Amino acid sequence: MENDLHTAFVSKERAELFLSNLEQLHTDKGINDTSHSALKTEYSINLQHARIKIEGIKQELNKRLALKSRQLGVFKQELANLDARFKVGQIPSEAYLKLSKNPQKKAAVLEAEIAHLNSLISAQNSSEISIPESTGLAGLFSSRFQARKVHTDAFPGHLVWTPPSQPAPAAEVVAPVKGSSTGQNLRSTAGLRRSMK
- Per residue in 87-146, pLDDT tens? 999 999 999 999 999 999 999 999 999 999 999 999 999 999 987 555 444 444 444 444
Lowest-confidence segment of 13-17, 22-26, 177-181 by average pLDDT: 177-181
* pTM exceeds 0.75 for this model: no
Asked if residue 10 has pLDDT above 90, the reply is yes
Return the higher-pLDDT residue of 158 and 70: 70
At residue 19, the pLDDT reads: 97
Which residues, 6+ apart, have CB-to-CB distance to 13 below 8 Å?
125, 126, 147
Shared domain check, 55 and 29 = yes
Shared domain check, 186 and 90 = no
Shared domain check, 86 and 181 = no
Shared domain check, 173 and 121 = no
Residue 173: exposed, middle, or buried by beta-carbon count in 10 A (0-12, 13-18, 19+)? exposed
CB 147 within 8 A of CB 108: no
Count how many domains the chain has: 2
Which residue, 150, 153, 159, is CA-closest to 13? Answer: 159
**Averaged over 54-74, what is the pLDDT?**
97
Asked if residue 192 has pLDDT above 50, the reply is no
Q: Which domain holds residue 151?
A: 2-166
Bridge partner residues of 159 (DSSP): 149
CB 154 within 8 A of CB 30: yes
Shared domain check, 62 and 44 = yes
CA atoms within 13 A of residue 195's CA, in its CB half-sphere:
6
Shared domain check, 181 and 127 = no
User: Which residue stretches of the chain are H helix?
Assistant: 2-27, 33-87, 93-122, 136-144, 182-196
Shared domain check, 112 and 180 = no
At residue 131, the pLDDT reads: 73
Shared domain check, 176 and 95 = no
Shared domain check, 138 and 58 = yes
Element (H, E) at 162: strand 159-162
Shared domain check, 179 and 82 = no
**Averaged over 74-83, what is the pLDDT?**
97
Which residue, 120, 138, 142, is CA-closest to 129? Answer: 120
Lowest-confidence segment of 60-69, 131-140, 160-169 by average pLDDT: 160-169
Q: List the end-to-end C-alpha distance of the chain, in Å, as a whole number.
A: 50
For residue 159, the SS3 value is: strand
